[in-house]
Structure 1
Amino acid sequence: MTPQTAPPPAWLSGHALGPGRPWPMGASLTGDGVNFAVFSANAERIELCLFTHDGRKELCRLPIVEREGDIWHIHVGGLTPGAVYGFRAHGPYAPEQGHRFNPHKLLLDPYARALEGRLKWSDALMGYRIGSPRGDLSYDSRDSAFAVPKAVVVDPSFSWGNDQPPRIPRTDTVIYEAHVKSMTELHPGVDRGLRGTYLGLASDPVIEHLHRLGVTAIELLPVHAFVDDRFLVARGLRNHWGYNTLGFFAPEPRYMSKGALWEFQTMVRRFHAAGIEVILDVVYNHSAEGDEWGPTLSFRGLDNASYYRLGDGGRHYVNDTGTGNTLNLTHPMVLRMVMDSLRYWVEEVHVDGFRFDLATVLGREAQGFDPNGGFFDAIRQDPVLSRVKLIAEPWDIGPGGYQLGAYPHPFHEWNDRFRDGVRRFWKGDAGLTPDLSARILGSAERFDHSGRAASSSVNFVTSHDGFTLEDLVSYTVRRNFANGEENRDGHHESHSDNLGVEGPTKDPRVLAARALRKRNLLATLMFSQGVPMLLAGDEIGHSQGGNNNAYAQDNETSWLDWARADQALTDFVARLVALRRALPILRQRRFLHARKRQCDGLPDVIWHHPDGRAPQSGDWHDPAFRCLCVELRMQAEGGDPKPDAVFAVFNTGTAAALRLPRTVPAWELLLDTTRPEFLPDGTASTLREVPAQSVLLFRSLTGTSKGDPP
């Protein structure tokens, strides 16, 4: 007898079956068993499938007969944590109408808290018959259970002790974007058994490194359970970055040593004890099921017409993400799933915020992107989520997809205008000085509206997507051949510069020029208003060999080579972060608009030529204007009476005579990127020349700041 027709096995006789309840969603412990609740508006019948603990044998299929609205529910008495299960959904297989039900395909619970087993690519995963002349309109009756990860019932309880979120103010935040495995796989100080894991990431050597840098938050590339794409597996590659989510509640198992939720929770607790926030890069814009030619793993088989945005009558998928499908957050139950997922990670796992991949998808309503749409309304009114850090990647490839600056408070946004403008300025492109002036003041032209703060802009020069900092100054052309796409993938224009030699070199002049360029880029990042983000590895000189799209490189290309770390560069980055922390003028909450302060009558921003002249209208359009000087004070609107000031110089041209502003009696030189070994001594500067290709930072000697610059 098959599982479809067999009576419940003997072991289930002591497990009373009951109607259960429609909440909470997924599998939840009740004290005397497990309650299961799953959404489907269009299914005709749903079965709960129970498996052995290793997920290899299907023990029984229990019909879920109770339905409240569109939520199907059942209670199985006596089940305990560790129980393994999945669903099968019966209904119309009518792709032209958006329905792709196929009970031969085992379905992962969208609310699964943990997974048993890995996805095994097989044609049996497809709801249609591969090779059929009818294509995706055909029907496949092979059972897929052997190839699909199963859900595991989880007890999320954890001994948090006195764990408290660091709650770093937005203005004080310095983000460090990192990958769990890349960060630890080659780290000599991390125990070999913990390398590539959550526990290894939160080990003492890594935390000590983050403390040395002074970063306040670690932003992790996707750690929701994800899938290695079939085309990558065929090439012997893996989806290293993880932007291919299968389950929005389960930590990715490949980063675990024991396969238990407590490993992730322990990581968060250790980071919190170190005063470091944990931010997750989350992918709620699409799923791992792809387009109509993809596998049936979960959402497609449970209710394709509800979970996805469909076109052409329902057969084809809207592809605003470039990945084949787009989740339909305008559906209340899909939006609920996303909100439940976010709350789960905050309440049960204690994370401190989220970075939303391709966030425009989340705010696209029927008439286009809406900053007051359902997702934004839901998240901003939520008493749990409204208090954590929210960061948007403000674009996708759909209509009206580029929305930089359009997100509502309290969202931060990745600012690609900062990335490209700063890169081009230091590359020497003409006419970029006006753009730089906007970037170092927090891109007010984009973000200064609707009560938003100057910290709304997340400034970055590099991120996981693109060249590393080392490659940015070493390559003019991408080298992505290892990805197997004939070097067609990745950014075409990176605004990079090899400083005279393409790729690795031993030429001391080229190496010196590259080192200086990196220091200039990093100093510009840290001395700009907004929230700075560092890419893990940039501080040690990590190179990916010119690959600017290393999403499939789970190898030495992406793994940080700690043995070859540039310690001098690490020390320089730590100095920059310390300077930013010591000088509140560099990290203000309000935007600066060159308005006069009541306390001293001086503007909060004063622009200068290096010779002391104020730039005129024509100067801002002069391509020869390559040395920008700016004098900053606390914002006029803030009413801060402190007389402190900083004076910064950004020179992408030749050496020039320097005349320090006379608004204060004396200036102290704090940093000169051409002399990274220079340390301030508390005395007035007598510097009379701006070195070529340099960043200088001074502070006034007439007032006091919070902390002493290093």
Structure 2
Amino acid sequence: MEAEQIEAYLDTFTMVTLVIFTEVPREAYFYVTDLERVYPLKKISEQRLEDRLLFHMVLDQKIPIHRDYWVVCPNGGRIPLKTGAVVRTKEFDEVFAYEKSDLGTLYTSEKTIFKVWAPTASSVRLKLFTSVSTAFEHPMRLGDRGVWETEVAGDCHLNEYCYLVRVNHAVNEAVDPYAKAVTINGKRGVVIDLSKTDPEGWDTALSPPPIKKTDSIIYEVHVRDFSIHPLSGMQHKGKFLAFTETGTAGPGHSVTGIDHLKKLGVTHVQLLPVNDYGSIDETKADTEYNWGYDPLHFNVPEGSYATDPADPISRIKEFKALISSMHVNGLRVIMDVVYNHVFIRETSDFEKIVPGYYFRFDYGGNPVNGTGVGNDTASERYMMRKFMMDSVMFWTKEYKVDGFRFDLMGIHDIKTMNEIYRELSEVNPAVFILGEGWKMNTWLDEDQKACIDSADKMPGISFFNDRFRDHVKGNIFHDALEGFINGDASQIAGMYENASGNSGEHGLFITPGQSINYIECHDNHTLWDRLRALHPYEEETVLRKRHLLGTALAIFSQGVPFIHAGQEFFRTKQGDGNSYKSGDIINRLDWERKAKYEADVQYVAELIQIRKKHPAFRIDEPEIIADCLSLLQYLPDGLFGYMIKNIGELDSWRHIILLYNGHQIEKVYQLPFPGQWTVTAEAMEVKEDGLYKTDDETLIIPPLGFTMAVQYSEKF
């Protein structure tokens, strides 16, 4: 019996599974040894698969898990006993759950303490580099609950390090998952004195005052896209520091950069992933492109956005400078975080340190692939949940980040997301947590998935409202389902549910603040490209009307408006519906286009200002929405409208009528109340104090037009 014909795995603290690829007598005797003691094995069952035989065997006692063990075969051959499903058992978490928040490095100028959680390792050594070519190994001692620790005297600031972890009879060189700084391309961790990474004014730069969710307007942008255009007017093109530049201008003196964001009126800037990711070679940072949804090191900024990726301080200091600049300019920062998977599972530091623990596997031991990238992390396990918690807390406390957008949040479990919100809220009561609540095909019970259908179990979390998106612009996967702005009047019933916040007793959400109202984001086609595909022969003027009609719906619906960068000037990616690595020409924000459509950008900015000035569009309480909002009846075909009535206790406007014409012919609407009405928006024009006043009983709604008419409250 050859050793390579048998594999052995510890699947519980007392159960061993032998995977046998040869013929073995049923009565064959096996035992486990650590070369000091012998642990007999008893077969309790066997299972025949196509090309292998499984022996399920039990030990008569639990064995310490942090040692090298062998299974001895009847002929005396020895097979390494590897950790199998035992790491995914409830008992494993109970035994090795580590609660303290001190993993990684604890630096002082006198000494640095290193801690790593590796309960299945038989030994761990710290490899600490005192120069590029000189390293010393420090043995680490096993302490509480599988945590290995060592202390190094002296000032270790900027010393590179890694861990040598002996697990499953092999030594893996791994970067600390809790590393706060790394070398170029993340090959090693770096001990860092974080006080030396603070930009000028960091300690005194205060975050903008807290606001409630429905007061928020989110703007999503990729760091490189923001400034890389040759006419962006920004000096630090493609870098964090571009967000620190003010007074920048593009063609025709058109405002660009952070000044554009301020002028537009958004409150939060959501950055596509800015933690260190694996698909960019940082030595070629200026020529490579990716969105960054392939995380490598979760607690370190991405080096390609730094002016010097080889300097561990540069990326940290410059990302802090971005945040400080945002805050000084009244903007809040949301990080797009990707804890649902890693770049490559097999070579990830998680897998090198505690094989099989951090990821989901099916009953056959195969990796689960609900994310579509080859691996799903297991947030329901204590130490993965803790890692996520520790990570977002680190970004919140050290970097002053204001919120987090969870990529593929449906991979995570409800308990984890609720605990993250609860813990972060204690640090920042106004923290904004949102995520993609799609129902993912992962190895997790349906009632545990943090998906949009379970929004009522996660009151502090907001969700991208794909129902809103599909009702407005159509289903992104089925061109036949065109959506309201493309002339599909059948969407009107669903439109009202979402425009009114889709919350309350019979709604999808508990409160309207849980609804992220969007019509485009970084994924899939931009709205402009979809409109061009659906209406290839329409004139640009007509397409612009459709586009602005959709944007108006997003801005004035109850909930949280979400704007994709460049949406305000009809962003195009030349028809590319999945541009995650398509490069700058496709992805960059076209500041020339912004200058061309300056009037349309101003129109969107004025719509935003009206929303911000009038609480009627930002109601938190579903019961008030139920009392004050109503769908307008007896509307002509293709016209969608609703009324916010008797809102005078909250707003200077007593009654507000919002009408959206999804057809290319004008419509006539009979006003519900007599008296004078002030028309504040009509035919791609808007003015908060009114375009004109009318005592007529009817309004003419222009083709593909948005019209708003109001009556003033006597109280104000």
TM-score (norm 2): 0.75
What is the aligned counterpart of 2:454 among 386, 406, 417?
406
Higher relative contact order (CA 8 A, sep 6+): 1
| Greater displacement, 30-39 / 216-225 | 30-39
CA positional deviation for 1:442: 1.3
Unaligned runs of 5+ in 1: 1-20, 94-101, 119-147, 364-370, 476-496, 502-508, 597-602, 612-624, 706-710
The whole-number CA distance in structure 1 between the counterparts of 2:580 and 2:569 is: 20
Query: In the alignment, is residue 419 of structure 1 matched against residue 469 of structure 2?
Result: yes
Counterpart check, 1:377 vs 2:419: yes
1:701 maps to 2:712: yes
Instruction: Report the CA distance shift for 1:465/1:445 in structure 2 as closer, same or farther (over 3 A).
Output: farther
User: Are residue 33 (structure 1) and residue 81 (structure 2) matched?
Assistant: no
Give the total of aligned pairs.
Answer: 577
Question: What does residue 473 of structure 1 align with?
Answer: 531
Moved more, 525-534 or 685-694: 685-694
Residue identity opposite 1:393 in structure 2: E
> Which of 187, 203, 221 is 1:178 aligned to?
221
Query: 2: distance between equivalents of 1:594 and 1:377?
Result: 29
Judge conservation of contact 1:289–1:300 (CA < 8 Å) in 2. no
Cα distance in 1 between the residues matched to 2:454 and 2:546? 32
Q: 1:307 aligns with which of 342, 348, 358?
A: 358
Q: Which amino acid aligns with 1:413?
A: F
The alpha-carbon deviation at position 23 of structure 1 amounts to: 5.6
Is it true that 1:631 corresponds to 2:667 in the alignment?
A: no
Q: CA deviation at 1:182?
A: 0.4
Aligned residue for 2:173, secondary structure, equals: coil
Higher strand share: 2
C-alpha distance in 2 between matches for 1:80 and 1:555:
39
User: Is 1:150 the counterpart of 2:188 in the alignment?
Assistant: yes
CA contact (8 A) 1:81 1:153 kept: yes
Rounded to whole Å, the distance in 1 between the matches of 2:241 and 2:504 is 42
Alignment of 1:258-273 (within 5 A): 258=308, 259-273=314-328
Alignment of 1:281-360 (within 5 A): 281-290=336-345, 294=346, 296-314=347-365, 316-360=366-410
- The aligned amino acid for 1:280 is M
CA deviations 1:76-119 (Å, max 9, x no partner) are 111332111111210215xxxxxxxx42x42111011121022x
Q: Secondary structure at the match of 1:557?
A: helix
Alignment of 1:10-29 (within 5 A): 24-29=102-107
Counterpart Cα distance in 2 of 1:325 and 1:58: 36
Q: Specify the alignment match of 1:547 in structure 2.
A: 576
User: Cα RMSD between the aligned structures?
Assistant: 2.9
1:500-515 aligned within 5 A: 500-501=536-537, 510-515=539-544
Rate the CA distance shift 1:420–1:202 in 2: closer, same or farther, 3 A. Answer: farther
1:458 equivalenced with 2:506 (yes/no) = no
1:608 maps to 633
CA contact (8 A) 2:659 2:708 kept: yes
In the superposition, relative to structure 1, how do residues 257 and 633 fare at CA in structure 2: closer, same or farther (>3 Å)?
Answer: farther
Percent identity of paired positions between Structure 1 and Structure 2: 25
**Structure 1 residue 403: Cα displacement:** 2.5
Q: Does the 8 A contact of 2:635 with 2:669 survive in 1?
A: yes
Larger Rg: 2
Map of 1:588 onto structure 2: 619
Post-superposition offset of 1:52: 5.2
- TM-score in terms of structure 1 length: 0.76
Residue pair 1:42, 1:91 contacting (<8 A) in 2 also = yes
Cα displacement string for residues 411-435 of structure 1 (whole angstroms, at most 9, x for unaligned residues)? 1111111111101111122411111
1:219 alignment partner, one of 260, 270, 277? 270
Quote the offset at 1:325 in angstroms. Answer: 1.1
In the alignment, the residues of structure 2 paired with residue 415 and residue 68 of structure 1 have an alpha-carbon distance, to the nearest angstrom, of 44
Cα pair 1:22 1:73 within 8 Å, conserved = no
Q: Secondary structure at the match of 1:307?
A: coil
Distance change >3 Å, CA 704–CA 329, structure 1 → 2: same
Q: Secondary structure at the match of 1:106?
A: strand
Match of 2:643, SS state, is strand
Q: Give how far 1:535 is off.
A: 0.4
Distance 1:378 1:691 in 2: 47
Q: Distance in 1 between matches of 2:408 and 2:339?
A: 9
Deviation at 1:701, TM superposition (A): 3.4
Cα distance in 2 for partners of 1:594, 1:85 equals: 56
- Which of residues 155, 158, 161 in structure 2 aligns to 1:79? 155
After superposition, the Cα gap between the structure-2 partners of 1:274 and 1:430, relative to the gap in structure 1 and judged at 3 Å, is same
Q: How far, CA to CA, are the matches of 1:195 and 1:272 in structure 2? A: 21
> Is the 2:606–2:686 Cα contact (8 Å) retained in structure 1?
no
Match of 2:658 among 648, 658, 670: 648
Q: Do the aligned partners of residues 357 and 239 (structure 1) sit closer, same or farther apart at CA in structure 2, a change above 3 Å counting?
A: farther
Unaligned runs of 5+ in 2: 1-98, 249-256, 309-313, 474-482
**1:195 corresponds to 2:226:** no
**Gap change, CA 1:239 and 1:391, over 3 Å in 2:** same
Offset of residue 53 of structure 1 = 5.3
Q: What letter is aligned with 1:550?
A: S
